């Protein structure tokens, strides 16, 4: 891939993240100050199955119409001391937040929170390996679709800088790598 294109993709992704983080404000209770709109975080939909099957469970990241990177596959991977956890198409660990709600799906991480805990955005279909397709869904987030697993909105941790890291595990007693079932992954030790 052309180095200039890589840089442009990274800049576009960062700009999308910054814009997403600037959306909404909080009144300190975990709810928006504005009245709910049609894209209320509680609206959740299942993720469509991919139109064709592929021998490869892991795909390269796609780019959305806004230029931001989207997730195209999720995989269950064994992590030392944590059991199986879910990773994205780049092998980055995915997390759930205890303050979010799974039924109906509702995200509460917004503003500055999304600078550290990056929402997992999807376009349409997501390929799976070791994760039950029927457990995947989406929740609307500022005009985008955030991936959910068993209703829990999914995030990446900015402190994970390489595939297979779980540096966000147990952060603030509220963030946990997510197991393929949607439960918190086992704790270390």
Can you give the length of the chain in residues?
189
Res. 47 pLDDT band, cuts 50 70 90: low
Per-residue pLDDT at 56: 31
Reported as a single tens digit per residue, the pLDDT across 135-167 is: 999 999 999 999 999 999 999 999 999 999 999
More reliable by pLDDT, 122 or 14 = 122
pLDDT at 41 over 60: no
Domain count, the chain: 1
Q: What percent of the chain has pLDDT over 70?
A: 62
Confidence of residue 21 (pLDDT cuts 50, 70, 90): very low
Residue 58 predicted with pLDDT over 80: no
- Asked if residue 32 belongs to a domain, the reply is no
183 domain residue, yes or no = no
Residue 188 belongs to a domain: no
Sequence-ordered list of residues with C-beta below 8 angstroms from that of 43, at least 6 positions apart, any chain: 104, 105, 139, 140
Question: Nearest Cα to 147, choosing from 79, 90, 88?
Answer: 88
pLDDT > 80? residue 61: no
Query: Does residue 182 lie in a domain region?
Result: no
**35, part of any domain:** no
Residue pair 109/167 in contact by the 8 Å Cβ criterion: no
4, pLDDT greater than 70 = no
What mean pLDDT do residues 122-134 have? Answer: 93
Domain extent at residue 172: 3-25+41-48+58-177
Q: Region 174-179: what's the mean pLDDT?
A: 98
104 in any annotated domain: yes
**Cβ atoms 186, 180 nearer than 8 A:** no
Give per-residue pLDDT as tens, 64-120. Answer: 333 346 788 999 999 988 999 999 999 999 999 999 999 999 999 999 999 999 999
| Residue 185 maps to a domain | no
**Residue 87 in 3-state DSSP?**
strand
Tell me what pLDDT residue 175 has: 98
Contact 178, 130 (CB under 8 A): no
Asked whether residue 33 is assigned to any structural domain, the reply reads no
pLDDT level of residue 11 (50, 70, 90 thresholds): very low
């Amino acid at each position: 891939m052309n180095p200039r294109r890589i840089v442009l993709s990274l800049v576009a992704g960062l700009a999308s993240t910054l814009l997403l983080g600037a959306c909404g404000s909080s009144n300190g209770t975990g709810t928006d100050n504005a009245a709910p709109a049609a894209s209320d975080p509680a609206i959740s939909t299942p993720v469509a199955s991919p139109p064709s099957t592929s021998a490869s469970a892991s795909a390269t990241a796609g780019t959305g119409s806004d230029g931001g990177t989207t997730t195209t596959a999720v995989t269950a991977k064994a992590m030392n001391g944590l059991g199986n956890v879910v990773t994205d198409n780049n092998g980055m660990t995915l997390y759930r937040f205890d303050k979010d709600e799974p039924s109906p799906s509702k995200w509460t991480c917004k503003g500055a929170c999304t600078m550290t805990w990056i929402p997992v955005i999807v376009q349409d279909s997501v390929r799976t390996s070791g994760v039950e397709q029927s457990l995947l869904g989406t929740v609307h987030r500022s005009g985008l679709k955030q991936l959910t697993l068993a209703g829990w909105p999914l995030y990446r941790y900015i402190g994970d800088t390489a595939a297979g890291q779980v540096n966000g595990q147990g952060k603030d007693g509220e963030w946990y790598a997510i197991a393929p079932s949607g439960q918190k992954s086992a704790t270390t030790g």
